């Protein structure tokens, strides 16, 4: 198969893009296919060693696990080979590459085994039908050889506006064909163009996915998803931290505002208490002053009354004292008078 692929790629008639695509898939075969084939051989070798030499030491469960693992490896690698063959089949079909019938049959069997796309199956089926129709009407060149057909197509396409008769006259001069053969070929060419247009449309609708590239793409997509998820997790974590910080800041702010309100309330209460105390003190002072004023008036009245009484007492005392003194003076005067009288009387008696 590898030799036949090399032969196809080295063909001079193959399109450059097709050669590049084939080489890409061949490189994939050379690398990926051979790599898993090597692994597969190691698995088989290990399988033979374990099952052949040490099977008696394996219990039923271990044997089942080992057999299942080997089967999964075989299955995975077989699917890998089918994927490669599927891509090659689609590539050869899309670019209408002529290959050995055995290889074509093998690749088609691989395609039928693995492909589950009904739309693609319908496209392939229609392409096969169109190819059969082309073969039925005379193939890619009709009944002429390639050089004659190429010359015919060049003349026909450049002079199609002149009509079939003029084209026929031109071709008779350039080809060893009679008018009947040329008209027959013109009729074939029109059918071929119709079939070929449909075939090209169907071929262009085929999308070839390189399994290796698809794996890389899937890996990149997975990595991108993981990166996006990590980014989302990071943003979510940052958002949670910010929300927590914002909540804490709001909580602190509310606590500070509550403390400020409490402080203001306490200060207002203190100021109100001080104001009330001052009012009370002022009221008490007024009352005390009023009381003191009343007391002062009463005291003054009492003092005045007392002084008046004292004065009256003094006056009375002085009056009494004067009376006493007068009485005493009278008494003394009387006594003196009596004494003098007595004395006078006494003296008078003596004289008598």
Predicted confidence at residue 265, as pLDDT, reads: 87
Tokens of 194: 């119709």
- Digit-coded pLDDT (tens) for 106-120: 777 877 777 777 888
Is 86 buried (19+), middle (13-18) or exposed (0-12) by CB count in 10 A? buried
Q: Is the pTM of this model over 0.85?
A: no
Predicted confidence at residue 351, as pLDDT, reads: 44
Instruction: Calculate Rg over the CA atoms of the chain.
Output: 70
Determine the Cα–Cα distance for residues 107 and 87; give it in Å rounded to an integer: 9
Determine the Cα–Cα distance for residues 192 and 157; give it in Å rounded to an integer: 14
Query: Residues 135-156: what's their mean pLDDT?
Result: 89
Out of 103-107, 164-168, 293-297, 325-329, give the one with best mean pLDDT.
Answer: 164-168
φ, ψ of residue 295 to 5 degrees: the values are: -60, -40
User: Could you give the 3-state DSSP secondary structure of residue 10?
Assistant: coil
Query: Residues 290-296: what's their mean pLDDT?
Result: 69
Out of 36-40, 194-198, 208-212, 274-278, give the one with best mean pLDDT.
Answer: 194-198
Residue 221, pLDDT above cutoff 60: yes
Residue 76, pLDDT above cutoff 60: no
34 pLDDT band, cuts 50/70/90, is low
Residue 61, pLDDT above cutoff 90: no
Looking at per-residue pLDDT, the higher value among 204 and 65 belongs to 204
Determine the Cα–Cα distance for residues 95 and 115; give it in Å rounded to an integer: 19
Residue 55, pLDDT above cutoff 60: no
Query: Residues 203-217: what's their mean pLDDT?
Result: 67
Determine the Cα–Cα distance for residues 21 and 11; give it in Å rounded to an integer: 14
Predicted confidence at residue 352, as pLDDT, reads: 46
User: Could you give the 3-state DSSP secondary structure of residue 300?
Assistant: helix
Residues composing the chain: 352
> In this prediction, what percent of the chain has a pLDDT beyond 90?
6
Residue 174, pLDDT above cutoff 60: yes
């Amino acid at each position: 198969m590898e030799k036949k692929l090399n032969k196809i790629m080295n063909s001079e008639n193959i399109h450059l893009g097709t050669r590049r695509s084939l080489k890409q898939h061949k490189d994939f075969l050379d690398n990926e296919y051979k790599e898993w084939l090597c692994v597969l051989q190691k698995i088989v070798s290990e399988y033979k060693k374990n099952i052949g030499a040490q099977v008696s030491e394996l219990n039923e469960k271990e044997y089942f696990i080992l057999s299942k693992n080997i089967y999964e490896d075989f299955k995975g690698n077989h699917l890998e080979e089918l994927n490669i063959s599927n891509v090659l089949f689609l590539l050869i079909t899309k670019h209408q590459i002529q290959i050995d019938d055995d290889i074509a049959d093998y690749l088609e069997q691989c395609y039928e085994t693995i492909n589950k796309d009904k739309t693609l199956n319908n496209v392939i089926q229609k392409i096969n039908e169109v190819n059969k129709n082309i073969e039925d009407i005379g193939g890619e060149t009709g009944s002429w050889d390639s050089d004659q057909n190429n010359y015919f197509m060049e003349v026909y396409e450049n002079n199609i506006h002149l009509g079939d008769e003029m084209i026929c006259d031109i071709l008779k001069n350039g080809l060893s064909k009679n008018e009947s053969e040329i008209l027959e070929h013109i009729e074939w060419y029109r059918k071929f163009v119709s079939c070929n247009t449909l075939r090209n449309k169907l071929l262009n609708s085929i999308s070839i996915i390189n399994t290796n590239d698809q794996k890389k793409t899937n890996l990149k997509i997975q990595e991108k998803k993981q990166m996006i998820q990590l980014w989302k997790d990071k943003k979510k974590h940052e958002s949670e931290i910010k929300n927590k910080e914002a909540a804490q800041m709001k909580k602190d702010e509310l606590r500070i505002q509550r403390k400020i309100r409490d402080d203001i309330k306490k200060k207002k209460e203190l100021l109100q208490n001080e104001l009330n105390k001052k009012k009370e003190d002022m009221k008490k002072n007024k009352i005390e002053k009023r009381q003191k004023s009343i007391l002062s008036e009463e005291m003054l009245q009492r003092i005045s009354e007392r002084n008046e009484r004292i004065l009256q007492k003094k006056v009375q005392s002085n009056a009494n004292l004067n009376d006493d003194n007068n009485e005493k003076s009278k008494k003394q005067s009387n006594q003196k008078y009596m004494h003098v009288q007595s004395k006078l009387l006494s003296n008078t008696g003596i004289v008598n």
